Chains A and B, each alone.
Chain A
């Protein structure tokens, strides 16, 4: 299957979904007016990946800003990953947040409370 490699824009994150390594990363800011349109191909990719995934899947979330409609889309990505977790692959989520950015840290904790995937919270100087 084809990998996803998208460059970031002022309103959308960079996206690297790599099938061979089982690594998924989104990074930057996610504040599009129409988040559903942006995230649809990412949902589709995870669904297809789930048919023959790698034994281990790592999802790195390195977001500096995201709007509320992206927050719903992110939850949908986590739900899709949760569906394939423990079946044919072990999914791990790394949630990055900048030191002193309590809002992004809290958002990570909120997802952790909603979704039973294993989350690791990682504090960094700069995303």
Chain B
């Protein structure tokens, strides 16, 4: 990376109205710091308590998804296994009159298929139908081994009031990179 590209990086972040960007492993400590920083920034820039709470709530779910579902990408060599990366990316921005939370993380192709079906189903539903789905998963669902309730994405869609924008970028035969963009008006 050349020294002048620091300024390019700055301009890119400025253009995207970045509030906070992070790339790396999402640990419990990191999660705490991001929440603390974002909360204090929101206190300064957002007058509506309602919207402040919405952004914060959605951020909690996005971060906890990264924390619980982050996968290490393992490269299978001829006679060795090597961990390529277990990093995620998170960008919180405030362009014009809305907020955006973007996340990206590696996911196995097998899990990606299930996740895509789940998101497609969520995106078909209107506000009331999302509420019914939430109630049904809440009352019938069980905790996974990671202690997650399967409600995160439903809650994100419900609170944001927008469709989930997503894509799965193919990395190799085993992994994809899952990109999610949540808009909060």
Contacts and interface: CB of A to CB of B under 8 A. Distances in A.
Answer yes or no: are A and B bound together in one complex. yes
Given A33-B28, A75-B138, A65 B57 contact: yes
Nearest to B155: A68
A103 B28 contact: no
A14 interface: no
Contacts of B32: 10-11
B159 interface: yes
B61 interface: yes
Interface stretch (A18-26, A106-114, A116-124): A106-114
Nearest to B57: A65
Contacts of A69: 64, 143, 147-149, 151
Nearest to A72: B149
A75 B50 CA distance: 24
B134 interface: yes
A77 interface: no
Contact of B149 (A68, A101, A113): A68
B147 A114 contact: no
Contacts of B152: 68
A101 B50 contact: yes
A37 B147 CA distance: 9
A69 B154 CA distance: 12
Interface string B22-55: 0000001001100110000000000001100110
Interface string A58-83: 00000011011101100100000000
A66 B85 CA distance: 31
Contacts of B155: 68
B159 A103 contact: yes
Interface in A5-42: 10-11, 31, 33-37
A10 B36 contact: yes
Contacts of B159: 103
Interface string A84-111: 0000000000000010111100100010
B112 interface: no
Contact of B53 (A34, A65, A67): A65
B46 to A, nearest CB: 14
Interface string B131-151: 100110011010100011101
B177 interface: no
Contact of A75 (B56, B64, B139, B154): B139
Interface of B: 28, 31-32, 35-36, 49-50, 53-54, 56-57, 60-61, 64, 67-68, 131, 134-135, 138-139, 141, 143, 147-149, 151-152, 154-155, 159
Given A31-B60, A69-B148, A100-B50, 6 more contacts: A31-B35, A33-B31, A68-B151, A68-B154, A72-B138, A110-B134
